[in-house]
Structure 1
Amino acid sequence: MKCLSGISTAHIIFAACISAASIASGQALGADILAPQPVAKFDERRWKVIVSPYIWAASLDGHANIMGRRTNIDVPFSDIFENLDFSAMGNVEVTNGLYGVYFDGQYTKTSQDESFHDQTLGADVTMTTLSAGAFFRAVEVPLEGETVFGTQRVFAIEPTAGLRWTQLKVDFMLDRWSERRKLKWTDPFVGARIQADLTDRWHLFAEADVGGFGAGADLSAQGQAYLGYRTHIFNQPALLRFGYRALYQDYDGGDVLGHRFKWNVTEHGPVAGVSLVF
């Protein structure tokens, strides 16, 4: 169902962004190798702001019930360029190393046409997902040595809790007729994060959560894992990240043109980004 492929594109002009990330990575690594700067040791417990723009090359798998039609969804990332109008995503974290909060957002707008009763039905689809969570460091095990940022290498476990808000907005157009439908739901979630400093530069991050519990979706679950490389960009501590992310949502509710809306879909795919520490 063509209309659904736009939602999967929720996630990015991946090739172009990878090129930009590669250029930035090359510059950052070159700066460290060719003109290393002495790193001032800073207080590990000071409050920091970590800004992380990223790109998610997500595919969609599952099924949906829209306008009375059950449709199996199998949309690979290779189809995203066809209908994508605009996409943006990023993460902001505020932490002192012991406690913290984070905000994560994804916004995507697509346009496409769908065959409907021998006529062409236009559909503009906008999907927004916003998450806010808090965490605390429940376990911290010091490891031998320091990172290139002058901090103690550690292995840490951090429980998390928060809310994930999803909005799906669809504008239908058929000849002179037009209709707009907006669906939104909010899922509470609980989970945990694991961080491990593998070397002075290499860093492993993994996170998983489960939510919904019938408050919004019947069930939602998310998992992601990244391998990061510490470097400096314009003398600013930075972490280049590459990994994989998946988000599952099972939502049943709302009305689209007189029919009940159902969404049982998994978004999954590789992720690349950079985290700047301020």
Structure 2
Amino acid sequence: MRASDLAVAQPEPAPPIVPQLGWQFQATAYGWASALKGDAGVGRLPTASLDASFGDILKNLKGAFMGSFIARNDTFIFGVDLIWTRIGADGRFKVGGDGPFAALRSGTSVSFQQDQTIATAFAGYRIPIGPPNLSLYGTVGVRYQNINVELDLSHTTVLGTGLRRSTSDSTGWADPLIGFAATYHFNDKWYLNALGDFGATSSSNMTAQGLVSVGYNWTQSFSTALGYRVLYTDYENGNDRGGSFRYKSTLYGPFVSMSYNF
């Protein structure tokens, strides 16, 4: 008997994980531990600088809902994402110039409350590049935002007199989006999700988002993911009477999600 006859047959390499063809649906509920940085102004009040950690927001959180739904196959993807929050935070005024607030001392504080709805819808077409376990889609869509802001000013002037002024405004707008959505399957359990988008209607009105997460399929129907998300908004409107709504913010922080897949 020759030595070659004793050689043990080597197993063939396992094929790469290929996403299942056909329509797949995913309903997701998630929690986003976001912090807030930016500024806001309503009407004739000066712009208030905002800087709230997740702890600050959680302490003042009055309600929240976050969820998404995605349908995809080997060619197309469709998705919607909805965020509603009611939060409060404190800010500080940037006072300058010779206007009606010039007599205020620096360090003026403001009580800030915000109801915000962010609804995003997108559709995409798969880009046939990369390994078979990568699903990459180019996307177009729209993001609608509605913000109700209440500002309550309380301060003592240099003359020692008290000053308190409250104002509120609500506005909504939509921005067209272009972006991508990608899923990379490491194996039948672990996967990586990423998406990004950008939209603008003018140099002062724009939005952008980035998200990346690592997920685990516990069963064919249930999965969880942990990731990080950033959402930027810059919006301003005004009128010829001097009133305006000014809102610039960055929401950022980690998130955790639970998904039902079918």
Q: Match for residue 120 of structure 2?
A: 131
Question: Which letter does structure 2 place at the counterpart of 1:267?
Answer: L
Which residue of the partner structure matches residue 168 of structure 1? 147
1:223 alignment partner in structure 2: 210
1:163 maps to a residue whose letter is V
**One-letter amino acid of the counterpart of residue 30, structure 2:** Y
Question: How far, CA to CA, are the matches of 1:214 and 1:131 in structure 2?
Answer: 19
Partner Cα distance (1:74, 1:60) in 2: 6
Distance of aligned partners of 1:253 and 1:54 in 2 relative to their CA distance in 1, 3 Å threshold:
same
Cα distance change of structure 1 residues 172 and 103 upon mapping to structure 2, 3 Å threshold: same
1:76-91 aligned within 5 A: 76-91=53-68
Using the TM superposition, give the Cα deviation of residue 261 of structure 1 relative to its aligned residue in structure 2, in angstroms: 1.7
Query: Per-residue deviation at 1:258?
Result: 6.1
The count of aligned residue pairs is 218
Equivalent residue for 1:54, pick from 27, 30, 37: 30
More helix by proportion, 1 or 2? 1
Q: Tell me, in whole angstroms, the C-alpha distance in 2 between the residues paired with 1:194 and 1:163.
A: 18
Aligned-pair Cα RMSD in Å: 3.2
TM-score of the two chains, using structure 1 as the length reference: 0.68
Gap runs ≥5 in structure 1: 1-42, 144-153
Conserved 8 A contact 1:239-1:274? yes
Per the TM alignment, residue 191 of structure 1 is displaced from its structure 2 partner at its CA by 0.5
- Partner residue of 2:71? 94
Cα distance in 1 for partners of 2:74, 2:67 equals 20
Which residue number corresponds to residue 65 of structure 1?
41
Determine if contact 2:36/2:50 at 8 Å carries over to the other structure. yes
AA aligned to 1:104 is D
Letter of the 2:32 counterpart = W
TM-score, with normalisation over the residues of structure 2? 0.72
| Counterpart in the other structure of 1:184 | 172
Equivalence for 1:270: 254
Counterparts of 1:194 and 1:182, CA distance in 2 = 35
Helix, strand or coil at the partner of 1:79? helix
Displacement after TM superposition at 1:141 (Å): 4.4
Any unmatched runs of 5+ in structure 2?
1-18, 93-100, 102-109, 154-164
